[in-house]
Amino acid sequence: MSDENHRAFSLAGRGGAAAALAAVAILTAGVCDRADAQVRFKAHYTLSMTGVGIGQIAWLVAIGEQRYTTSANGKASGVLSVLVNGEGSVDVRGVMTEGHVLPRFFTSKIIDDEGNSELRMTFEDGVVKELSGSAPQPSADRVPISDADRRGVIDPLSAMLIPANGEPLQATNCNHVLQIFDGRRRYDLALAYKRVDKIVLDRSFSGIVLVCSVVLKPIAGYRADSMLVKYVAGRRDMELWFAPVSGTSVMAPIRVSMPTLIGTLEIQADQFDILPPLIQPPAAGSPR
């Protein structure tokens, strides 16, 4: 893969992989405060390019009535490390508002061919109020990020927890434009209903899932002359498969499919589990 293709892969993998496209590429380990945590969800994903395994992602989500946490870690290497190589972790804490996740604090640590970056963001009602940390100096050919690009946004990991309104598999649950900012790149993922499908995992999940088409719209922070960004942006054959997270008001991705210049990138769950609830310690003075 050329440097151009790798950089564009990082756009789809780091910002949308952290999900999808992350999602969708770095997806975990975090727990809500014991007093608030109600549902804990764990997933593990395998990344493959043209059928060859290149990495993995682990993701843990804890959702309470008022708060949530989600964190992830992932690495792409192995046989195709010459093509795709990098690792990182993301941690997010936020609040639940009418079944939607709303981030408050975001941190990421990423190592890839562009260098090392450690970023911290605070959000207030979808607006990035503070951004700090260290990252490689952006090259002159990157589209600059404006103050407006930090408004009305969500982090890439929280973006993958879409609300399941009413019947989770109804078509309208795909109708979202995810306005994502990862601290370095700003892009939209426009979701639209495509179909329902069935997926069976070896151990932890079997059932019907909601399949949404995804259209990537780069906005800022990307290389303006990137061939792969131009190739991927606007395509309508990318897919995000969502499965309901039992006991919550959200759905999470169980499969991602994205075409690239050298083949199809797939992120496929091989574990998709609801974990036992945390054991609450008895209140002081309560009978045992």
Whole-number pLDDT of residue 209: 96
Whole-number pLDDT of residue 78: 53
Residue 275 tokens, joined: 């974990």
Name which of 20, 15, 17 is nearest 241 in CA terms.
20
Contact criterion met (CB below 8 Å) for 191 and 259: no
- Tokens 């960004």 belong to which residue? 229
Q: Which residues contact 264 (CB under 8 A, 6 or more apart)?
A: 49, 50, 257, 258
What number of other Cβ atoms are within 10 A of residue 186's Cβ? 24
Whole-number pLDDT of residue 37: 61
Whole-number pLDDT of residue 92: 97
For the chain, state the CA radius of gyration: 18
Residue ranges per structural domain of the chain:
3-275
Whole-number pLDDT of residue 85: 63
Q: Which residues contact 18 (CB under 8 A, 6 or more apart)?
A: 24, 25, 26, 27, 72, 90, 108, 155, 156, 157, 160, 182
| pTM given for the model | 0.82
> HSE of 152 in the Cβ direction (CA atoms, 13 Å)?
8
Whole-number pLDDT of residue 51: 81
Label each residue of the chain as H, E or C.
CCHHHHHHHHHHHHHEEEEEEEEECCCCCCCCCCCCEEEEEEEEEEEEECCEEEEEEEEEEEEECCEEEEEEEEEECHHHCCCCCEEEEEEEEEEEECCEEEEEEEEEEEEECCEEEEEEEEEECCEEEEEEEECCCCCCCECCCCHHHHCCCECCCHHHCEECCCCCCCHHHHCEEEEEECCCCEEEEEEEEEEEEEEECCCCCEEEEEEEEEEEEEEECCECCCHHHHHHCCCCCEEEEEEECCCCCEEEEEEEEEEECCEEEEEEEEEEEEECCCCCCCCCCCCC
Instruction: Give the pLDDT of the chain (288 residues) as one tens digit per residue.
Output: 444 334 433 433 343 333 333 434 333 333 445 446 689 999 999 998 888 888 899 999 999 989 999 999 998 865 444 445 678 999 999 999 988 999 999 999 988 777 888 999 999 999 999 999 998 887 788 999 999 999 999 999 999 999 998 888 999 999 999 999 999 999 999 999 999 999 998 777 889 999 999 999 999 998 888 777 777 787 888 999 999 998 899 999 999 998 877 778 899 999 999 887 665 544 455 454
Phi, psi (5° rounding) for residue 273?
A: -120, 145
Sequence length of the chain is 288
Q: Which residues contact 167 (CB under 8 A, 6 or more apart)?
A: none
